[in-house]
Amino acid sequence: MPQWLTDDEQRAWRGLLQMTSRLDARLNRELQQTSGLSLADYDVLVLLTEAPDGRIRVFELVADLHWEQSRLSHHIARMQRRGLVGREECSTDRRGAFVVLTDIGREAIEKAAPGHAATVRRLVFDGLSEEQVAMLEAFTGRVLSRLDRVTSAVPGDGPAEGIS
């Protein structure tokens, strides 16, 4: 017997999917229009600003962003053409090339961040009580730890998928 969701769970799940896709679309559009960055650009640049010396290896970006390798490669190449990031090849190290934050990239995210934070506040957090924020954090933390622990239904596909 399949373990279907109850009606309440179904509504909560659909709500989460709807919210996520609409929030993504809205944040992406506002970012694009106010700063010229996409949400994907923004996510890459955030990771780079937080990395030591503003550089991260490609495989670490894959692990942090959970994008498919091909999507990441294409995206980084496009960001490179726009001058937002650079690439440092590393022929002596098997762990491969670094993606590095450029001055243009740093300036772009520093300019975009305040508006983006204000949009997130306006759409998600304004009027949320401290308890509700804590509940949201607990819920996401719970699912994240399940993603680490719960064995995949797919044979040979182990639970230890999370590096981040």
Decide if 75 contacts 40 (C-beta within 8 A).
yes
* Dihedral of the alpha carbons of 58, 59, 60, 64, in degrees to the nearest 10: 100
Q: How far is the CB of 93 from a second copy (least distance, A)?
A: 27
Least Å from the CB of residue 126 to a second copy: 8
Are 127 and 134 within 8 A, CB to CB? no
Say how many residues touch a second copy, by CB under 8 A: 65
With CB under 8 A as the contact rule, the residue among 52, 53, 70, 154 that binds a second copy is: 154
End-to-end CA distance of the chain: 35
* CA neighbor of 101 nearest in space, from 50, 62, 40: 50
Minimum CB separation from a second copy for residue 41, in Å? Answer: 15
Closest CA to 59 of 102, 96, 20: 96
Residues within window 33-72 making contact with a second copy, judged by CB under 8 A: 33-34, 43, 65-67
**The one among 2, 52, 94, 158 contacting a second copy by CB under 8 A:** 2
Residue with tokens 């896709």: 21
Q: Which stretch binds a second copy (CB under 8 A): 15-23, 51-59, 74-82, 83-91?
A: 15-23
Q: Which amino acid is located at 26 in the chain? A: R
Q: Report in angstroms how near the CB of residue 88 gets to a second copy at its nearest.
A: 26
123: CB partners within 8 A, 6+ apart: 23, 26, 27
Of 23 and 97, the one with the shorter C-beta distance to a second copy is: 23
125 lies in the site for a second copy, by CB under 8 A: yes
For a second copy, the binding residues in 98-117 under the rule CB under 8 A are 113-115, 117
Rounded to a whole number of angstroms, the minimum distance from the CB of residue 65 to a second copy is: 7
The token pair that represents 70 in the structure block: 């091909």
